[in-house]
Amino acid sequence: MVTRKDIAEQAGVSQSTVSRLLNGDPTLKVKAATRRKIMRTAAQLGYRAFTSRSIAVLNVPPQSDELQDAYFQSLQTELRKVADEQGTTLTFFDSIDSLIAHADDYDGFIAIGPTPFQSTDLSHLRDALRYGVFIDTNPAPDWFDSVRPDLSQTMLDALDTLTNAGYSRIGYIGGVGSIMGLHNHTEDIRSLAFSDWSKRLGLPNEQYIYADGPFTVSNGRILAARLLTDHPGDLPGALVVGSDPMAVGVLQAFTDAGVRVPADIAVVSVDNLPIAQYTAPPLSSYAIDLHELVYAALATLTDAIARDRHVRRHILLSTELVRRESLPSKS
């Protein structure tokens, strides 16, 4: 039988750290790499005595584009994997209404997908299930937690890489989405960050920014065609694309117009999905660490649930002490 001591020895950490992590101790502070190593070691050794949790998953992927859906399918696959390593039971729901109807069966929920929600629906969900974490979006920051990749930093990294390679005019093609909380601004952090960092770096990129519509192959093709029409003789030397699916459409438009990549224009994308290796030419794409996204989401949800249980237990104990102290003493 595998023990926590066995896990500690194999992972090269203390038994106390292993026990606190597997018990879901919200006060434990360890590096993400250490958490991952402990969980992987426990899974490899066949350890299954984790603190049991039952989590709902609100799974609302896009319906319009198969490649766009591939990113969220990858998130879902990674979530299942990490949850299995941690001994967490997942149940998937495809709508808020169905999740609300079964809310009493779960400790909390995790949401995956870009589908926008009405504030009234989110309010009802909050009333039914207090704890939830959204991955990759942030539709209700006052009510639920969220875990998202640092796409602003990714845009800066892309600009730094391209300027260091000698490019001074850099374009951007991306979509929009309602990710700014309950105000539903039709903007996206990638285009906002690209524009902001371009201004800070003194780069003349504003005229080359095309951010509109969904993050799909067809929309990437449409926006690339618009770029070619607007700038027939002064294309930027490089282009950053907000997602791999859009980049596929961009490459299609460039091929149709006889624009060579990277000879005429360099293209850099975001996501690093498997499709990026099968385009012609292969895409240079910034990877999003899906494991860290879902691990952080589960950890954030677990910590919130654990803190709530601790507070409730403290309140119950305090109430019991008050009740006892108020009882008349026996003569």
CA 5 to CA 21: how far, in whole Å? 13
CA 239 to CA 260: how far, in whole Å? 13
* pLDDT tens-digit readout, 241-275: 999 989 999 999 999 999 999 999 999 999 888 87
pLDDT band at 178 (very low <50, low <70, confident <90, very high): low
pLDDT band at 177 (very low <50, low <70, confident <90, very high): low
Cβ(202)–Cβ(230) below 8 Å = no
Tokens of 242: 């907000």
| Mean pLDDT on 45-49 | 68
* pLDDT tens-digit readout, 139-174: 888 888 888 888 999 999 999 999 999 999 999 999
Alpha carbons within 13 angstroms on the beta-carbon side of residue 215 total 29
Give pLDDT, residue 22.
76
| Mean pLDDT on 215-231 | 94
pLDDT band at 211 (very low <50, low <70, confident <90, very high): very high
| Mean pLDDT on 56-74 | 74
CA 241 to CA 37: how far, in whole Å? 34
Cβ(242)–Cβ(283) below 8 Å = no
Cβ(19)–Cβ(11) below 8 Å = no
Cβ(53)–Cβ(302) below 8 Å = yes
Give pLDDT, residue 312.
46
Tokens of 203: 């780069």
